[in-house]
Amino acid sequence: MSRSVTASTRPAPDHVLDHGPAAQEVPAALDLSAEPRARRSRRRRLAQWALIAAAVVLLVAFRDRLPDIGAMGDAAAGARPEWLAVVVVAVAISMGSFARLQRRLLRIGGVRISLRRAFAVTYAGNALSTTLPAGPAVSVVYTFRQFRHSGATAQLATAVILVGGVITTSAYSLIALAALLAAPQARGPAIAALAVPMIAVPALSLVLALRGPRARAAALAGRLGRAVLAHRRVAPFARSLRDGCAALRPSRRDWAALVALAVVNWVFDILALFAAAQAVGIDIAPHGVALAYFAAQAAGSVIPVLPGGLGAIESSMAASLVALGAALAPAGAAVGLYRLMSYVVVVAVGWLAWAVLHEGARLPVRARRWLAGAGRGVLEGLATVAMMTMLTPYTTARGVHPAAPRRG
């Protein structure tokens, strides 16, 4: 699954986003619609069609080397149920930790929302991000407006999205680095890459201990910093982050909880893949599974053939597991089981959550009521699981009592 936060590059479709008062308040940091969208969209479509054509050619050329569908089905059918249960729980905790992270940021800013609504916004935003064209852009604007409906100011909603993105991205990078250092085959290159900053930082510290070089370095850094922050593409984000620091003042306990939730988000998603591999009899060390996970995430970002990284993530993940010693059919079965839970089921819950949040005004009334009822049941169950499994408590913002959240 993908929960990275990116800035919007074009307006959201009318049938997805509402047009209430909050709809006109998307900050520049989250809405870059002034850029030449048509040109970028044309290039994106051409690149996607080229990648799809190349994928079809490769499938035809290497059809004899592809895993047998029957063998994959047999491997999946023989999966161990206890490990499949771990996959389900791990995916739920991973998504729940991200919902809790955003909920905690809102509470730090003085806005209290229920855990069920936090789950609904998280799952619905993920469904939009991974199924629609320009999904990440649509998801960011949608999440912003849902936070506004919950009582957050435009400044706070922007800060929650941007600061949450920085925290989760930082946690992602640290876990990826830990996986590289844990893997014997990748430890050497990783240490070599880290050796440069490890040597440069102490040397630079010695130089900056002298007053003259320190003053010149400070002046140079100030000029470079002002030039970067004044750039037209950086300035909106810089202003939003600066405003976010004013809107959000986490305590040390808050920071510890936010970092822990971000780490749990990624670790349990990797655990779901590890459990899927164990379920079909693939015995690979956890750090190897983590490397396969990060390789697939990178492939899904670099080669966005379809929304949600479909195709690129599955092929890269299966190839990585095979390279680590797994047989082809079990590797395909493990990836299929993992993606079934982490993508298909999560997206289905996300669209149910979208219906719960009353974003389905154009659906028939009976269908909307059925979806809303089913979605509420699922979200209440997920919230109950999260409350029983997550150990990080929430504390309300001290001395702040905002108005009750308004439904979207």
> What integer pLDDT is reported at residue 376 of this predicted model?
61
Specify which of 88-92, 251-255, 403-407 reaches the highest per-range mean pLDDT: 88-92
More confident: 247 or 28: 247
What number of helices (H) and strands (E) belong to the chain?
15, 0
User: Cα separations (Å) of 394 from 16, 148, 246, 293?
Assistant: 31, 21, 21, 30
Average pLDDT of the residues of the chain: 75
Give the three-state DSSP class for 166.
Answer: helix
> What integer pLDDT is reported at residue 29 of this predicted model?
57
Query: Which amino acid, 36?
Result: P
Q: How many CB atoms lie within 10 A of CB 255?
A: 12
Q: What is the pTM for the complete model shown?
A: 0.70
Q: Is 64 exposed, middle or buried (0-12, 13-18, 19+ CB in 10 A)?
A: exposed
Give the three-state DSSP class for 8.
Answer: strand
Q: Evaluate if residue 160 carries a pLDDT over 80.
A: yes
Which contiguous run of DSSP H or E holds residue 54?
A: helix 37-61
For every residue of 56-118, DSSP letters joined together read HHHHHHTGGGSPPHHHHHHHHHT--HHHHHHHHHHHHHHHHHHHHHHHHHHHHTT----HHHH
Residues 270, 319: contact at Cβ < 8 Å?
Answer: no
Whole-number CA gyration radius for the chain: 23
Helices of type H across 280-360: 286-302, 312-323, 328-339, 346-356
First and final CA of the chain: distance in angstroms? 25
Least confident of 175-179, 181-185, 215-219: 215-219
The predicted-structure confidence for 30-66, as pLDDT tens digits, reads as follows 654 444 555 655 666 666 556 556 555 655 555 555 5
The predicted-structure confidence for 103-120, as pLDDT tens digits, reads as follows 999 999 889 999 999 999
The predicted-structure confidence for 324-364, as pLDDT tens digits, reads as follows 888 888 988 999 999 999 999 999 999 988 888 864 445 55
Query: Which amino acid, 343?
Result: Y
Tokens (6 digits) for 13: 């479709």
